Amino acid sequence: MPSAITVGERIILHLVQYQKLIDNYDVPIDISQDGIAASLRISRAHAAIELKKLRSSGEVVEKLAHIKRGKTKRKVYFLSPTGEQKAVRIKQYASNEGIDIGPLIDIRRCKAQDLWQTLGDDSKRILTGACVFRKPFRRAALPTTTTSLLPVDRFGMVDIPVELRRSILKLAPSTDVKECHSLAADYWLKENDYGERLYHLVHAIRIKEAEMLIATQETSVLASMDQGLLEALLSIRSPSEHYRGKVRRAQAEACLLMGDLDNCFRVCSEMESSTDASERMIGLMIRGRGLRKIDQLKESLDSLLKAKAIGLKLDSATLECEIAHTLMMMGLNDESISVLEKLAKQERSSDPELIERIYYLLGRNYLLVKNGNEALHYLSKSLAITKEKDRKPWYQGMAEAYGLIGNPEKLREYDMKANPPKGWGVA
């Protein structure tokens, strides 16, 4: 039985894991009083009492050490030679008795069912609250307890392992899980993390608020897209009439971003059957982009031209840019260049990201028709305003352009930027 191992013995088993660090300058917070309490899920007061007993018995020694990434030294604890011998005996006893010591010294190694059965109702609700979070969160977001139930790092953050989270949420009452998702949604609002807020709003069944968030924060939501968030977004199957167009657009864009083209095209079909002309236009645009992604170029162009035929000015420049992109991929470079140059003249004071893309596509087109000077001109202008962190496509294009105009020195310079040697730029 786990109860056969005392709290003092659990501390010894915890500390023996860090014995090799006894002569280190930097040590983890796990061997401070706070770290021991958090790992073993006991109160700081209980940890202090047990550590005092272990020091008195000569099994633990106390020293001042620098905590990793900390600013000051703190009291930390290591086993004495007597304590190390005691650890060996405890492990042998546990082995003989069939006791798994892992869960006794770290909540992250607990089996969900065993842990759940040891907790009272209040602790179960707090653990459920911790397990709905997908990302590290501040311990202060949940009620305090007399014991250190949750593992907390030195920054006050909690991060429960994925498998333990999933298992606990299966054991917790659905009403508690829903309530905890609601609390998490409000937490992430204060943290300005709209992707996580949306995830929890959906799971808290606060759908109207989720729709409002999608309508106002689509860019932020898409920027933090992952599979779990995509599934939450797609679970909104019947958006309200007021937000339907914006919700469907976000769903289709998210599917395209994540490579889920089946769902992307399904949502596009719903948009294309709408009585709202702008929703139909956007659905056709996104379908065109998706078809281009799988090299169905003729079908892509057909879809984009259908969108254009609707005749709305909404997103018309973006639509022309998409048409030009597909024309370029079809090898119709003169037609693509004609569309893009007209756009470049018209859109100088418009969206910087659209301008950057127009210049980039012009540069790529001119590379394809072997006009190195024009390619350099437009790729340089695009590079100057892009917000992309990965500049490799630009550097590769410019290297190719310098090759076309016969400048091997610049070719090598930009090829090196595109493909830097391993460790380049590291001090």
Q: Tens digit of pLDDT for each residue in 269-283?
A: 999 999 999 999 999
Find out whether 230 and 254 touch, Cβ atoms under 8 Å.
yes
Maximum mean pLDDT: which of 3-12, 33-42, 159-168, 226-235: 226-235
Q: Which helix (H) or strand (E) holds 425?
A: none
Q: Say if 204 falls within a structural domain.
A: no
Same domain, 93 and 122: no
276 sits in which H/E element: none
Average pLDDT rounded to a whole number, residues 64-73? 82
pTM of the model: 0.77
Kindly report, residue by residue over 128-142, the tens digit of the pLDDT.
999 999 999 999 999
Q: What is the mean pLDDT of residues 311-335?
A: 94
Per-residue confidence band for 427, with pLDDT thresholds at 50, 70 and 90: very low
The residue among 196, 287, 220, 205 whose CA lies nearest residue 248 is 287
Report which of 209, 261, 199 is spatially closest to residue 230, judged by C-alpha positions. 199
Note the pLDDT of residue 156: 82
pLDDT at 364: 98
**Three-class secondary structure of residue 235 per DSSP:** coil
Range scoring the smallest mean pLDDT among 43-47, 66-70, 146-150: 146-150
Residues 31 and 120 in one domain: no
Q: What is the DSSP string of 114-161?
A: HHHHT--HHHHHHHHHHHH-SS-EEGGGS---SS--S-B-TTSEE---
Question: In this structure, are 324 and 406 located in the same domain?
Answer: yes
Q: Is the pLDDT of residue 309 over 90?
A: yes
Residue 138 sits at φ, ψ, to 5 deg, of: -75, 130
95, 127: one domain: no
Q: Looking at the DSSP assignment, which residues form a beta bridge with residue 27?
A: 67
Name which residue leads in pLDDT, 268 or 347: 268
The pLDDT of residue 292 is above 60: yes
167 Cβ neighbours under 8 A, 6+ residues apart: 111, 112, 113
Is the per-residue pLDDT at 326 higher than 60? yes
Instruction: Reply yes or no on whether the pLDDT at 34 is more than 80.
Output: yes
Other beta carbons within 10 Å of 296: 14
Domains: count for the chain? 3
Q: Are residues 137 and 101 in the same domain?
A: no
88: domain CATH number?
1.10.10.10
The mean of the pLDDT values for the chain is: 91
CA angle (149, 158, 180) in 5-degree steps: 80
Query: Over 60: is that where the pLDDT of 425 sits?
Result: no
From 269, 274, 209, select the one nearest 236 (Cα to Cα).
Answer: 209
Q: How confident is the model at residue 202 (pLDDT cuts 50, 70, 90)?
A: very high
Asked if residue 130 and residue 94 are part of one domain, the reply reads no
214 is a domain residue: no
Radius of gyration of the chain (CA): 30
Kindly compute the dihedral angle of the four CA atoms of residues 137, 142, 147, 149, in this order, to the nearest 10 degrees: -50
Query: DSSP 3-state helix, strand, coil percentages of the chain (rounded to 5)?
Result: 65, 5, 25
Identify the residue whose tokens are 């087109």: 365
- In percent, the amount of the chain with pLDDT more than 70 equals 94
Instruction: Residue 329: give the domain boundaries.
Output: 315-427
- Stretch 177-190: mean pLDDT: 98
* Co-location of 326 and 418 in the same domain: yes
The residue out of 155, 172, 189 marking a domain boundary is 172
Residue 85 CA to chain centroid, in angstroms?
Answer: 44
Distances (CA, A) of 113 to 164, 168, 171, 311: 10, 8, 8, 60
Q: Is the pLDDT of residue 241 over 70?
A: yes
- What is the predicted pLDDT for the residue at 426? 45
**Alpha-carbon distances, residue 37 vs 2, 45, 358 (angstroms):** 18, 9, 58
Tens digits of residue pLDDT in 101-120: 766 666 666 778 877 887 78
Quickly state the pLDDT bin for 193 (edges 50, 70, 90): very high
* Residues 65 and 147 grouped into a single domain: no
Domain boundary pick from 73, 105, 137: 105
Q: How confident is the model at residue 223 (pLDDT cuts 50, 70, 90)?
A: very high
According to DSSP H, which parts of 332-371 are helical?
333-346, 352-368
- Are 321 and 409 in the same domain? yes
Same domain for 320 and 421, yes or no, is yes
